[in-house]
Amino acid sequence: MSSIKTKIKVELGDIQKTLLMPVWARAVESKKDNPILVDMTALKIIEAVDFDFSQMTDNLPEISQIAWIARCKRFDLIVNKFLSDNPDGTVVNIGCGLDTSFERINSISIRWYDLDLPDVIELKKKFQKETDNRKYISSSFLDTKWFDNIVINDRILLIAAGVFVYFKESEIRDFVIKVADRFDNCEMFFDVTSPKGLEIANQVIHKSGLNSRSFFKWALTDKSIISSWDRRISLVNTYHTFRIEGLGLNDENKNIALISDSLDIQYMVHLKISKTCLTK
């Protein structure tokens, strides 16, 4: 006699619920014949949680799903390069959601911290476990008391995928300056969006079945604004979303991707924060 497993209820805040979108994207990718990445955890999550993913499946164009995968791949490349240069480095995954970057990195020497609000961390623990070198922090990233929980043997990289866009620019600016005050010679990597990108992203969120309380707030008009926040901040590089090898885009999606990248609709920025920037 077979039994029906009870689905895990998703009890998350409005912004936190958006973490299900990249999980869905990774699960969809994992089922393709030639996936760019395979995420078995994402597949398990999709099957286990009590959430209607049909609106994403039915309403979102393929390019939206690919965009999440492309961003994921770029973050992996940045983290791997950081670890190649700093084998004993520390990575803090801000607003980690149900991200599986740590599993893909698979390093035994790194110190890794997954940071998110308590409701997200509780859900995360149902699918992913802490290890000796991967720890969870239940906190808002804006409440910087969590800085005291970080152990650093080498340099530190702070990453934030699909996080800062949900906050006001002033909040992100103040946070980055606090990072500069606390961690010298560190790096940050996160995604940003233009005003047009904000409009498009909020349409995607709406089509995914989420409400306006889950919408983006911060639209970056000029990337040079970030380095103007503080003289210790140096903009190392920017990365366009779709300039990743192996995406396998059809002609229609190639055109959309080309327009998106050429207009800086959504992209990623790599910062270095150091007192040495003061001498430049």
| pLDDT band for position 280 (cuts 50, 70, 90) | very low
pLDDT in tens, 262-279: 999 999 999 999 976 554
Q: Please state, rounded to an integer, the average pLDDT across all residues of the chain.
A: 92
Please name the amino acid found at residue 118: P
Average pLDDT in the 53-63 region?
A: 91
Across 208-241, b (16+ Cβ under 10 Å) vs e yields bbbeeebbbebbbeeeeebbebbebbbeeeebbb
Q: Indicate whether 208 belongs to any domain.
A: yes
Residues 271, 187: contact at Cβ < 8 Å?
yes
pLDDT in tens, 239-253: 999 999 889 899 999
- Rounded to 5 degrees, what angle do the CA atoms 16, 155, 134 make? 45
Which residue range is the domain that position 74 belongs to? 8-279
236 DSSP assignment: E
Residues 116, 142: contact at Cβ < 8 Å?
no
Q: Give the sign of the dihedral formed by CA 71, CA 123, CA 87, CA 162.
A: positive
CATH number at residue 256: 3.40.50.150
Q: Indicate whether 1 belongs to any domain.
A: no
Q: Indicate whether 266 belongs to any domain.
A: yes
Q: Indicate whether 45 belongs to any domain.
A: yes
Q: What does the pLDDT read at residue 153?
A: 83
Beta bridge partners of 111: 90
Q: Indicate whether 42 belongs to any domain.
A: yes
Q: Indicate whether 2 belongs to any domain.
A: no
- Name which of 195, 179, 197, 193 is nearest 233 in CA terms: 179
How many domains is the chain built from? 1
pLDDT in tens, 184-236: 899 999 999 999 999 999 999 998 888 888 899 999 999 999 999 999 999 99
Q: Indicate whether 3 belongs to any domain.
A: no
- Name which of 166, 12, 45 is nearest 94 in CA terms: 166
Q: Indicate whether 241 belongs to any domain.
A: yes
